[in-house]
Copies of this chain bind each other. A is one copy, B any other.
Amino acid sequence: MESPRRRGREAQSAARSAAARLPQAEWGSPRHATAPLALVDDGALERIHHASLSILEEIGMDFLSPQARAIAVAAGAKPGPEPERLRFDRGLVMDLVAKAPASFTLRGGRPGRDLAIGRGFTHWACVSSAPQVNDLDGGRRPGTQEDFRRFLRLGHSLNVISFFGGYPVEPQDLPAATRHLDCIADFLTMTDKVFHPYCLGATRIRDALHLIRLARGLTEDDLHQGPQCYTVVNSSSPLRYDAPMLDGLIEMARANQCVCFTPFTLAGAMAPITLAGAIAQQNAETLAGIVFAQMVRPGAPVIYGAYTSNVDMRTGAPAMGTPEYFKAALISGQLARFYGLPYRSSGGNASNAPDAQSIYETTFALWGAKLGQADIVMHAAGWLEGGLSASPEKLIIDAEILQGINAALSPVVVDDATLGLDAIREVGPGGHFFGAAHTMDRYTSAFYVPLLSDWSNFGAWTAAGSREALARAHETMTALIADYVPPPLDPARAEAVADFVAQRKAEGGALDA
């Protein structure tokens, strides 16, 4: 967390808040106005489902944590003969998947920031886990705490960013064993949006949950009422869960916190080259995680995560925002709905610069997520290079795209007032609607107001300096950071957070993973 002095200075700037200056969309995700887009028929969906159950029953998965294997075997999974292998009968899988809740509420730092999950909304997250930052001012370089905090300010200030994933950019200047303490404290004090601790062993999760209790004034019982945070557990595809992730998720599920299971099933590399096969494997891995969470605590809130993409078969490099990625996003949404589970998708692109490629690949990923009706979309804004760098300018461009997608798939009112026959009659053939009462009454709020787009004509645009979208995004980013105001926080709670961080740092931090 930042120093109280800095917080004070920032609080004073509340009057000139970014929200007041920038034409942002209002906070809040719109309810889906269309049916989800289905790419395969019910028969194909069933075939994928049965293939996944066969994978879990016949091939099995390696669970690399002895503690996790013990829990799973006690709950009905079949061990061995391979040392770390577990197999799951299809009946057991379906019984346990049925225990997972179809919907729940993910709590933010205040009720206005809560996210309704499984209730017909798509929520967008800031980029996370990029080791590098890449911006117009400093180029591409390893991330630092200051970069991390810059993204927290931006993600907090942008209304269309519903929540955070992990660290937007990795603060590589902080020691690994205590980094989580600094970062979780920052999340809890610099923003009130939903965030997640990394699932790297039990200690980091315990520390995070304790910090959440301190910052939000919760008892242990309060915490257990429902998810105050979520984490993402990635399988190590193919068909393996690593020990730190399993040990962390046990802590999360025991505390009734939300776990999103997301295999990184790159078709042609860590999964079959065929989309059907890659998705069948993804589905098996995700279901195994969900089943295990239900073994730890029946009814534990979980999210069906999907991240199937393809590689460049000439080089093996991962690709994102490709046609295959889009298709996988639609089919994964169909599978999540088939199981009655909330669904997580992702933005993404593999471009090395915030150029045209980065934009069109990002839009493919985001449209796939939205049309597949994901509940949460990680990395929805600000990522480059397949996640290896985070770009604050691209965060602004993507925020515009996300606002646009929200607006594009919101309801259209068709009634006598909006059909406007009286206005059409009044104007008549050959006239114009600029001065009509019907127009003047709706003048300020009729249309989507862009965050970034410049619709001036070429002459006006040239006269104003021919600023392209990337340069304008840089200015918007700079203004947002200058105008950032931290959310209010009880000083006693802030002090408790700081004290706990200091105490745990003195103890050496997380030594288990």
Contact = CB atoms under 8 A, between A and B. Distances in A.
A219 interface: no
A104 interface: no
A424 B238 contact: yes
Interface string A343-371: 00000001111111111110110011001
A22 interface: no
A324 B408 CA distance: 6
A275 interface: yes
A15 interface: no
A473 B356 contact: yes
A83 to B, nearest CB: 11
Contacts of A455: 312, 315, 317-319, 350
A157 to B, nearest CB: 20
Given A38-B35, A272-B424, A430-B239, A357 B454 contact: yes
A466 interface: yes
Copies in the complex: 2
A274 B413 CA distance: 9
Nearest to A313: B443
Nearest to A240: B429
Interface in A478-506: none
A446 B275 CA distance: 9
Contact of A469 (B351, B363, B431): B351
Contact of A421 (B54, B354, B408): B54
A361 to B, nearest CB: 7
Nearest to A398: B360
Interface of A: 33-35, 37-40, 44, 47-48, 51, 54-55, 58-62, 82, 85, 140, 236, 238-240, 267-277, 280-281, 310-313, 315-319, 322-324, 326-327, 330-331, 350-361, 363-364, 367-368, 371, 385, 388-389, 397, 400-401, 404-415, 417-421, 423-425, 427-434, 436, 438-439, 442-444, 446-448, 450, 452-458, 461-462, 466, 468-470, 473
Given A55-B421, A322-B448, A385-B457, 8 more contacts: A34-B39, A37-B37, A48-B419, A55-B424, A62-B429, A313-B444, A350-B453, A360-B401
